[in-house]
Amino acid sequence: MKKDDLYFLKEAIKEAKLGQRNGGLPIGSVLVKNNIIIGRGHNRRVQEDSVILHAEMSCLENAGRLKAHDYKQCTIYSTLSPCDMCSGAILLYNIPRVVIGENENFKGPEEYLYENGVDLVNLNLEECKTILSDFIYKNPILWYEDICIE
Amino acid sequence: MKKDDLYFLKEAIKEAKLGQRNGGLPIGSVLVKNNIIIGRGHNRRVQEDSVILHAEMSCLENAGRLKAHDYKQCTIYSTLSPCDMCSGAILLYNIPRVVIGENENFKGPEEYLYENGVDLVNLNLEECKTILSDFIYKNPILWYEDICIE
């Protein structure tokens, strides 16, 4: 964990809360380059009827078209462990570091990220766990809509 | 290879050409469920200044919010081997089958898809190779903008 990780993760939490206030899933993300936030976003499945605008994807889209050498200086923060798609985006753009709030409500392919050289740090924050578990408890149909639980 | 694979891949090629006519990268995709096209799309990096709207992502977004059991009956067609992000989306939604036009201009993590149970078929079509290689030859800065080639 680095000095400002908690500060930036709290910015991701602000995004999660903003998304929830707008009727969406409370998952947020920020992209940080050289200690400056250059992108931020939250899950927009409900708001945009989107299957691709997870928090990390919204955040990357919001940051705009960066160069490969920009991504290599970035850390992406997310309130939740990135799913397969978001982990794939992290690998595509060679983002070397990922800081997450928790992986109890959902855990993505963290081992695959490690194997591919990504430094993933889990801050294991109660606030992140509670925001999302409360949401899932109240909105199970929405949460499980596209997740296969056979 | 199944009976209608070539037909649906040609629909993906139509998407690639449509994208190119609109000034974008010529990569296209269609999503097929029970032999019916339920989503289609092309790369929109240029058109939307997007870092996430690859052909497969545009196609999935266009198909809308499906249920897990819908995705399990789908095949996704793409003119090009899916990158890390698009492969991750395929895994996220448990799409069991992927048919591609080629993997010479770019090859994504096909082995990772195989390892995770995805049936990937490469039709190895000269038309797909030529459309994209001609584009890359004429637009190298655009093609390599966010790809790390160290």
pLDDT digits (tens, 9 = 90+) for A19-55: 999 999 999 999 999 999 999 999 999 999 999 999 9
- Tokens 């009827």 correspond to A49
CA–CA separation, A122 and A81 (whole Å): 8
With bands split at pLDDT 50, 70 and 90, how would you rate the model's confidence at B148? Answer: low
Catalytic positions of A, written as ranges: 56
Chain B residues inside the 8 Å CB shell of A72: 148
Chain B nearest-CA distance from A49, in A, is: 7
Chain A nearest-CA distance from B145, in A, is: 6
pLDDT value of residue B84: 98
What's the whole-number mean pLDDT along residues B121-130? 98
Write down the H helix ranges in chain B: 5-21, 45-48, 55-63, 68-71, 84-92, 110-115, 126-138, 140-144
ipTM of the complex: 0.96
- For the CA atoms of B79, A82, A56, B19, the dihedral, rounded to the nearest 10 degrees, stands at 0
Q: Could you tell me what percentage of chain A is helix, strand and coil, using 3-state DSSP and rounding each to the nearest 5? A: 45, 15, 40
Chain B residues inside the 8 Å CB shell of A147: 68
- Give the DSSP H or E segment for A17: helix A5-21
Q: What is the pTM of this model?
A: 0.96
Chain A residues inside the 8 Å CB shell of B63: 51
CA–CA separation, A75 and A98 (whole Å): 6
Encoded tokens for B29? 């995709």
With bands split at pLDDT 50, 70 and 90, how would you rate the model's confidence at B87? Answer: very high
